[in-house]
Amino acid sequence: MTTITDPPKQQFRLSMLIYDTRYRSATIQVVALIAFMLLAAWLIDNTARNMMLLGKTINFGFFGEPASYDINQRLLDYTSRDTHLRAALIGLLNTLVVAILGCATATAVGVLVGVLRLSHNWLIARLMTIYVEMFRNVPVLLWIVFIMAIMIETLPAPSAFRGDNATASMLLGDTVALTNRGIYIPEALFSRSLGDIHFFGASSLRFDVSLDLIAFLIVLGAGLWASHRIKRRADRMQEETGNRPTTWYLRVGVVLVPVVILLVALGFHLGYPELKGFNFSGGTHLRNSLIALWLALSLYTAAFIAEIVRAGILAISNGQTEAAAALGLRPGRVMRLVILPQALRVIVPPLISQYLNLTKNSSLAIAVGYMDITGTLGGITMNQTGKELECVLLLMLIYLIISLSISGVMNWYNESVKLKER
Amino acid sequence: MSELTTDRQIDRSKMTVSDEIAVEIINMNKWYGTFHVLRDINLTVNSGERIVIAGPSGSGKSTLIRCINRLEEHQSGKIIVDGTELSSDLKNIDKIRSDVGMCFQHFNLFPHLTILENCTLAPIWVRKTPRKEAIDTAMHFLEKVRIPDQANKYPGQLSGGQQQRVAIARSLCMRPRIMLFDEPTSALDPEMIKEVLDTMIELAEEGMTMLCVTHEMGFARQVANRVIFMDQGQIVEQNEPEEFFNNPKSERTKLFLSQILGH
Ligand SMILES: Nc1ncnc2c1ncn2[C@@H]1O[C@H](COP(=O)(O)OP(=O)(O)O)[C@@H](O)[C@H]1O
Ligand SMILES: [Mg+2]
């Protein structure tokens, strides 16, 4: 016989809010939320009152006023008569340039160093250890300034390239010049150019896009797509017959040949930097500030990435390599099919924080005079207009958006390599 | 250690030892740095033999069988597997590894692949088997080890005994002629040991050449045709199981047996 009984009714006591595990976490959250809202309300109220006393108002009208300062390294056209908004845009692009260049370089160097640190070659392993310890134990600001100083102090001035008894000479068949004002490299020119498309007329957000570049990207994209199709076909052949056809030359060819044909059709040639008077002209000028910032951020972050990669590979037990080897898989295949898919899952999450660190550290650009978003919007614009609150809030918002975008992309990637276990 | 492992009747009709030599080890020595792990090993294994290797921990049992598929390199002497002498030649190593299967104490299944993918990985990438065929083979062997219904699960979702049986199936998918086992039941709970041993017995009944490092003396008595006792990097004694257990010759063997059998 079963009897129907009510579960024992418990008297609710106020102390249960703190001591009962069922309510405890809710209580803590409610208290924290109330405290946070009170603090935020006080801060906003305080700020608004003080600004009123100073006669300031929150106003973004200053963006339309002329910036009247110069920016020497820029991706879009800009003069000091342009607005603060355009200056901020130029700064934002500069931040993105150094962040993207930095993340790519740091990943390449970091992965290489991380793998080499595990090398059986004593010398290589030690050298990599020294590199890692040197870079991650010194503040990145010092590395930026140090690299900048080295370039200014040790590289020849452009005038040294001049005359019959020049003390310096250009490298790589007179195509690259390393000077104390920066590096001059060849630029891509098209003698039968398709021209540009202009966006946003003459406004502060105007920019041009080269049709040559678009054509190049389209042809490259189509090539990569075709190459991917060839790979898929090879996969299918392997599934059906077991034999994988050799396709690498087809895959390389289908990407390269159309691109080369396009470049020839557009009359692609390189414009070399040339000494004119006291300075170089032509080619692309990479300023010292960009190079110092890029190198220092990349090498510094690469040291951390190297450790992450090494830890990721070490986290996969030796038993995995042995089991795969015992089945007859060669070392390269073992790495690609067994070790890396498992290591990536350990590597990617900390890699995200390194990308975020690099992006935020790029605001140290101000130390070498590279005009990034902090140097323009958060530097000269802020000082000239006195709109501290607006500028800083906007800066924070911009960095937040960049960081969240990086996290978003990387989390999506992480999801796709994640270990499906349960 | 358990004395009797199985109550089933063992079918010995196909457990025949042929004249063909599967593995031949001649005067083999191995060092780890300056530490002499294996000393003057001489061993001939004929096709169809079931050999159990016993000995105290650290005596070099694992190292010996790992030399046979070149997971470890030996420094002097010869190892000839299926007529191919082991050398640093990649082609040689490839050939030997596809002829020799191995199961480890900790299974070492690939956790990022399903059970089925674990079993088809090597046939597809090493043997170049078409995927369809590789899947059929894998399902055949998974049925043999009695876990076909787990094919699409991941190793982490299986019990230890099931994982070890998958590991055996994974090796069998490469159709090896020789199987090496390194303490396949040492990491298992007692109730799972039997299911793995049963699988190994079935393998023996089909005439597979086997070298097993194990402490399962019941298995040695019932299945092995030869027991090898190792101590301090040497083969101290080898004999038929009956003789080995009832009439051990060396003092070290006697000591070991009294410890492991608990009397
Ligand atoms: N990679 C290695 N490096 C150095 N010594 C090792 C290595 N692997 C095993 N050894 C040593 O070799 C000896 C034999 O090991 P092993 O073959 O694993 O013994 P068993 O399997 O009989 O317990 C042990 O003393 C062990 O410490
Ligand atoms: Mg061992």
pLDDT digits (tens, 9 = 90+) for B212-240: 999 999 999 999 999 999 999 999 999 99
Is residue B78 predicted with pLDDT exceeding 90?
Answer: yes
Same structural domain, A316 and A417:
yes
| Strand pairing class (B226-231; B209-213) | unpaired
Look at residue A422 in the predicted model and tell me its pLDDT.
45
Question: In which region does residue A394 sit, left (phi positive, over 0), alpha (psi from -120 to 50) or beta (all else)?
Answer: alpha
For A345, the closest chain B residue by CA position comes to B112
Within-domain flag for A8: no
Which residues are CB-neighbours of A213 under 8 A, at least 6 positions away? none
Contact list, A326 vs chain B (CB under 8 Å): 69, 71, 97, 100-102, 171
Q: Are residues A105 and A216 in the same domain?
A: no
Q: Which ligand is nearest to the CA of B104?
A: 2
Instruction: Please state, rounded to an integer, the average pLDDT across all residues of chain B.
Output: 91
Q: Are residues A342 and A392 in the same domain?
A: yes
pTM over 0.80: no
Strand B226-231 and strand B50-54: pairing?
Answer: parallel
Tell me which residue in B104, B111, B130 faces A419 most closely, judged by beta carbons.
B111
A328 and A236 in a common domain: no
**What is the phi/psi pair of residue A211, to 5°?**
-65, -30
Can you give the pLDDT at residue B213? 96
Q: What is the pLDDT of residue B2?
A: 46
Q: Is residue A257 part of a domain?
A: yes
| Euclidean distance between CA atoms B41 and A420, whole angstroms | 44
pLDDT band at B166 (very low <50, low <70, confident <90, very high): very high
- Four-point Cα dihedral A337, A338, A342, A347, nearest 10: -70
Q: Same structural domain for residues A78 and A146? A: yes
Atom of ligand 1 nearest to the CA of B72: 1
Give the span between the Cα atoms of A125 and A272, in whole angstroms: 40
Q: Chain A partners of B111 at a C-beta cutoff of 8 Å? A: 342, 419, 421
Tokens of B235: 């083969």
Q: Do A319 and A232 sit in the same domain of this protein? A: no
Whether A356 maps to a domain, the answer reads yes
Residue A77 lies in a domain: yes
Task: Find chain B residues with C-beta within 8 A of A243's C-beta.
Answer: 128
Instruction: Report the number of distinct structural domains present in chain A.
Output: 2
Q: What is the CATH number of the domain that holds A375?
A: 1.10.3720.10
**B44-69 residue pLDDT tens:** 999 999 999 999 999 999 999 999 99
Evaluate whether residue A336 is within a structural domain: yes
Mutate to test the pocket of ligand 1, among B29, B30, B32 (most ligand atoms within 8 A of CB): B32
Residues 6+ away with beta carbon under 8 Å from B66: B72, B182
The closest ligand to the CA of B233 turns out to be: 1
Q: Do A295 and A360 fall within a single domain?
A: yes
- A211 and A120, same structural domain? no
Q: What are phi and psi of A104, to 5 degrees?
A: -65, -50
| Amino acid type, A316 | I
| Per-residue pLDDT at A10 | 73
Residue at A376 is within a domain: yes
Neighboring chain B residues of A324 at a CB cutoff of 8 Å: 110, 122
Complex-level ipTM:
0.92
Tokens of A361: 């550290």
Of B102, B131, B132, the CB nearest to A326: B102
Give me B170's structure tokens.
């994974």
Q: Three-state SS for B29?
A: strand
Q: Buried (b) or exposed (e) across B30-67, using 16+ Cβ within 10 A?
A: beeeeeebbeebebebbbbbbbbbbbeeebbbbbbbbb
What 8-state DSSP symbol labels residue A8? P
Q: Say what the pLDDT of residue B107 is.
A: 93
Half-sphere exposure of A83 (CA within 13 A, CB side): 14
Whether residue B157 and residue A244 make contact (CB cut-off 8 A), yes or no, is no
Mean pLDDT of A259-264: 92
Nearest to B110 among A238, A320, A325 (CB): A320
Q: Which token pair is A368?
A: 């070498």
Amino acid at A178: L
Q: What is the pLDDT of residue B5?
A: 54
Looking at the fold, whether A291 and A239 belong to one and the same domain comes out as: no
CB contact at 8 A, B177 and B209: yes
| A224 occurs within a structural domain | yes
Burial of A223 (0-12, 13-18, 19+ CB in 10 A): buried
Looking at the CA of residue B63, tell me the nearest atom of ligand 1.
17
Distance CA(B145)–CA(A16), nearest Å, equals 54
Please enumerate in sequence order all residues whose Cβ is within 8 A of that of B223, keeping only pairs 6 or more positions apart, or say none: B10, B50, B52, B200, B201, B204
DSSP strand E in chain B: where? Answer: 21-32, 35-46, 50-54, 76-81, 84-85, 100-103, 178-182, 209-213, 226-231, 234-239
Task: Reply yes or no on whether the pLDDT at A278 is more than 80.
Answer: no
Residue A266: phi and psi, rounded to 5, are -85, 0
Other Cβ atoms within 10 Å of B15 Cβ, number: 17
Domain that holds residue A231: 206-267
A418 min Cα distance to partner chain B (Å): 9
Nearest to B185 by CA among B200, B203, B202, B204: B200
| Closest to A268 in 3D by CA, of A222, A215, A209, A225 | A215
Write the burial class of residue A143 (CB in 10 Å: 0-12 exposed, 13-18 middle, 19+ buried).
buried
Mean pLDDT of the A76-101 span: 92
Q: Are residues A226 and A305 both part of a single domain?
A: no
Domain presence at residue A339: yes
Q: B140 with B188: CB under 8 angstroms? A: no
A54/A27 Cα distance (integer angstroms): 41
> Are B71 and B35 contacting, i.e. CB atoms less than 8 angstroms apart?
no
The pLDDT tens digits for A103-140 are 999 999 999 999 899 888 899 999 999 999 999 999 99
Ligand closest in space to the Cα of B61: 1
Tell me the percentage of chain B whose pLDDT exceeds 70. 97
CA A189, A192, A197: angle at the middle one, nearest 5? 80
Q: Are A144 and A219 in the same domain?
A: no
Q: Which two tokens stand for residue A12?
A: 């609710």
Retrieve residue B47's tokens.
Answer: 């096709």
Identify the CA nearest to B209 among candidates B166, B171, B163, B160: B171
Are residue A316 and residue A253 in the same domain, yes or no? no
pLDDT-derived band at A389 (thresholds 50, 70, 90) equals confident
Query: Any chain A CB within 8 A of the CB of B137?
Result: no
Lowest mean pLDDT among A296-305, B9-18, B165-174: B9-18
Say which of B102, B125, B129 has its CB closest to residue A337.
B125
